Structure 1
């Protein structure tokens, strides 16, 4: 029996190793028992483009249906935000997404979405975990039987989502912009929706390939070389967007084919939402996001808060307070006026609309950000280490003996979630183990890209010896 534990964003495991039909049955049973205890009678279920998505989604549906609960199921693959929005639009009590998001193609996963249209809060996830049986031995109706008994209904979650986009964006202005947009779906679940929303976009990897051609569908620069080169070779392209496997994260490129990280996107969103759209609210970011978000919030007279890493912590605040913009370093971003959920397509459309309505290039808008908070650069290295070595580094961080990284003297250490070593002058290094992968992440910020690389190299030498 495998102990099933939800990480930063859901339960994830390697397909056919721990991620099996039997274990999905167990998690689905725990989900059903939690729903019954909490008076929830209906769930929305969807899956992304990963291998076995339909099998695992139907398995979850059949177990939940066996408990007498109604299932609204997507036909074909959908993005995580489509399921989250579907929960709200159908008045359901819960959402289940079969996805491992940005993880390598060998993984699958199981995400839980609240009735508010965002991640379940940590306390509720712990309650679901406590309900997961060691073995599921209950009844297992077919989908046809469920449909005949009124326990299964297929819903067009993608169509519902596109209608929501059409009602909230100036698509006419976006589509008539003077520049072209390139979109890399990374073989993920955003491909069909983006093709319909922006029919003139230049498309990459917008076909169904459950193996993602062997590459983790994470929208970071090292995985997006084709998109960068496409933009460099086509001067008419003014913006590049990429989404991860379940399209809740975003990657972005400027007209020169340079990667624009999530910190810069967050700052652009806050600038657009407050200065141009005249909206207000709280700014909420995770521990690994640049402190320049707090600086801009202060300039605008807005309250700000820093959370642990994981969008679920932001969603928990969004459920209770008015949040104008929130997000995490890994590309999961959210804004007011939508569900409390990270949504890579929605955020991409926000930036496109910002550019189209102002007539400014992405670089010009970034320069406007710099005029307020100063220029900076950021990067992250993922170190694949033996577990023993990873834990040894974490233990050393906890005992706080690192006083310098090469020539950079540590001025302050924060340990909200991971370990952030600040050196002054907008320079810092952060060390944190991944919550979903066997990886040690090392993050760095400095005034320019060259110094970021120098900081990361110094961190490697100090941490690895």
Structure 2
């Protein structure tokens, strides 16, 4: 075995505090599995704007106790550089229900407190939105959530919030990463939670903290629509995650008492035994909650993902189907429903909304029609919240933000996606409609009749290794026609330039990112995100179909789907193979 690799593995073993991962590495050493060891020691698990996310395994490329301790030491060092009042503000730490999460959270707390940093640690599992809430509620300098959200069971993660309560963005990500690299070269000091408590550096966040979040939802200005909540019935699943107790509580506080939780998925279970993939977007993940809705003929079948920051819903429908059938709403449909509802009720100084470049363009059209503001950001809630926070002022507060991947920020008590406040808001919207004898489908149809039926799709295309770089290829000669539709303008986010079909240009105020957006006649759109490391691209498509007086939701959707299928096929055929 390579001598340097052997030395690195043995050095890691000397510092690894976990007997399980020690044994795992020792077994690889004893069996001489150099290939596997090379994979695990080729680099470190990368720290970025989403923090860490990876498979739980031994070595620097996995999520494990030593990686968490080194990461926490690096974060602590960076905070000491950046935050002058760190000693009084401290760091909030919470964790989800995965097998290693509690231990990882304790390790993070022990490292930070050993560095003299005050730590607020949740006394039990916590939905991710509670930790984001805790950062601003406690005026902390930062927050850490140990969670892998809706990833498979073998994963875990480490998400960081800055003192403004939003996920970190550049330059904090690279600054923290550099400090982690420094910390990883030295022995990390850690103290027990008892030592931290005795030294006055550890505060346990007990039930009163959870009640503060609950009261915050109860008092939120955007959640005061109490129009006949007794009309709403819904089934609910926590997807084996941490949301159930708080979800049931805040719904009850809002007067929604016909709530039927899926018992088999209510309690936290890191094995996620009843789902292949604990993500409400995945096929089959909503089967049990829809079955529970059918059993009670409930209006809605609702889900949070395992850390309760995302929200998904299927709605009972009689649209050409037997009564009692349910149809999933897309993330974009929920987003435009929320946007329309919240802007329709908002005060004049609370009308700023945000969405991402790959989400439906419909929210911006609704905002314009309601004399509100809609900002478009790069993909990810870290951008939505930081941009929204920077753009708001006393005359126009941030009301709502969403991305198509089931993430919604309702109001600004939490500067991140929050599946619990979204659950309450959707129940209140449904109740208001029911009080008028209307349904969610009626509201969607009214929106589509005014602004056109917007259909969105995403396709990942794996290309041959010999295929030229797609981004470079497209930039060399920007297409003027895509799928028989004229290109009206092209946005190149990598250089912040919009080019119109007459050759004129204007600047785009977005952080540089390897993204091309083609805006086509008839409202259609293609977004291409080439991979810089492999022959693969992600394409996001949008088509818009006007609704005639004779159209129904089913007929316009069917027509739009035919257009979309042809659109995708023609666009993919035009790409170099």
Same fold (TM over 0.5): yes
Does the aligned pair in 2 maintain the 1:122–1:312 contact within 8 Å?
no
Question: 1:167 and 2:237 equivalent?
Answer: no
**Aligned with residue 343 of structure 2, among 266, 271, 274:** 274
| Structure exhibiting the larger radius of gyration computed from Cα positions | 2
**Do the aligned partners of residues 80 and 174 (structure 1) sit closer, same or farther apart at CA in structure 2, a change above 3 Å counting?**
farther
**Aligned with residue 427 of structure 1, among 524, 530, 534:** 524
Question: 1:139 and 2:193 equivalent?
Answer: no
Question: 1:217 and 2:278 equivalent?
Answer: yes
Kindly report the root-mean-square deviation, in angstroms, between the aligned alpha carbons of the 2 structures.
Answer: 3.1
Q: Secondary structure at the match of 1:246?
A: coil
Does the aligned pair in 1 maintain the 2:149–2:307 contact within 8 Å?
yes
* Equivalences for residues 32-431 of structure 1 within 5 A: 32-37=76-81, 38-39=83-84, 40-41=86-87, 42-132=90-180, 133=182, 134-156=184-206, 157-168=209-220, 173=226, 176-198=229-251, 200-204=258-262, 205-213=265-273, 215-220=276-281, 222-226=283-287, 229-230=290-291, 233-234=294-295, 236-256=297-317, 257-279=326-348, 280-320=350-390, 321=392, 322-358=397-433, 359=435, 360-382=438-460, 385=462, 392-399=469-476, 410-416=487-493, 417=513, 418-431=515-528
With a CA cutoff of 8 Å and minimum separation of 6, indicate the structure with the bigger relative contact order: 1
Q: Secondary structure at the match of 1:105?
A: coil
Question: 1:6 and 2:59 equivalent?
Answer: no
Cα distance per residue 1:302-346 (max 9 Å; x no partner):
233211112111211232312222222212222334222211111
Cα distance per residue 1:420-448 (max 9 Å; x no partner):
3344323233333699x998543222243
Question: 1:31 and 2:75 equivalent?
Answer: yes
Stretch of structure 1 that moved more, 24-33 or 114-123: 114-123
Q: Secondary structure at the match of 1:431?
A: strand
**Do the aligned partners of residues 90 and 202 (structure 1) sit closer, same or farther apart at CA in structure 2, a change above 3 Å counting?**
same
Question: 1:452 and 2:530 equivalent?
Answer: no
Cα distance per residue 1:282-310 (max 9 Å; x no partner):
22211101122211122122233211112
Aligned-residue offset at 1:381: 3.7
**Do the aligned partners of residues 220 and 211 (structure 1) sit closer, same or farther apart at CA in structure 2, a change above 3 Å counting?**
same
Distance 2:196 2:464 in 1: 45
Provide the TM-score with structure 1 as the length reference.
0.88
Equivalences, count? 463
Unaligned runs of 5+ in 1: none
Does the aligned pair in 1 maintain the 2:49–2:168 contact within 8 Å?
no
Aligned-residue offset at 1:464: 8.2
Aligned-residue offset at 1:271: 1.7
**Do the aligned partners of residues 302 and 396 (structure 1) sit closer, same or farther apart at CA in structure 2, a change above 3 Å counting?**
same
Cα distance per residue 1:377-406 (max 9 Å; x no partner):
2233455x4895898445544545666665
Distance 2:565 2:459 in 1: 10
Does the aligned pair in 2 maintain the 1:378–1:449 contact within 8 Å?
no
**Do the aligned partners of residues 171 and 334 (structure 1) sit closer, same or farther apart at CA in structure 2, a change above 3 Å counting?**
closer
Aligned-residue offset at 1:281: 2.7
Provide the TM-score with structure 2 as the length reference.
0.72
Q: Secondary structure at the match of 2:93?
A: strand
Does the aligned pair in 2 maintain the 1:413–1:422 contact within 8 Å?
yes
Unaligned runs of 5+ in 2: 1-40, 253-257, 318-325, 494-512, 546-559
Does the aligned pair in 2 maintain the 1:432–1:440 contact within 8 Å?
yes
Q: Secondary structure at the match of 2:140?
A: coil
Cα distance per residue 1:64-83 (max 9 Å; x no partner):
11101111111222111100
Does the aligned pair in 2 maintain the 1:45–1:95 contact within 8 Å?
yes
Distance 1:99 1:438 in 2: 30
**Do the aligned partners of residues 456 and 223 (structure 1) sit closer, same or farther apart at CA in structure 2, a change above 3 Å counting?**
farther
Distance 1:395 1:50 in 2: 42
Aligned-residue offset at 1:119: 1.5
Aligned-residue offset at 1:163: 2.4
Distance 2:576 2:287 in 1: 32
**Do the aligned partners of residues 147 and 237 (structure 1) sit closer, same or farther apart at CA in structure 2, a change above 3 Å counting?**
same
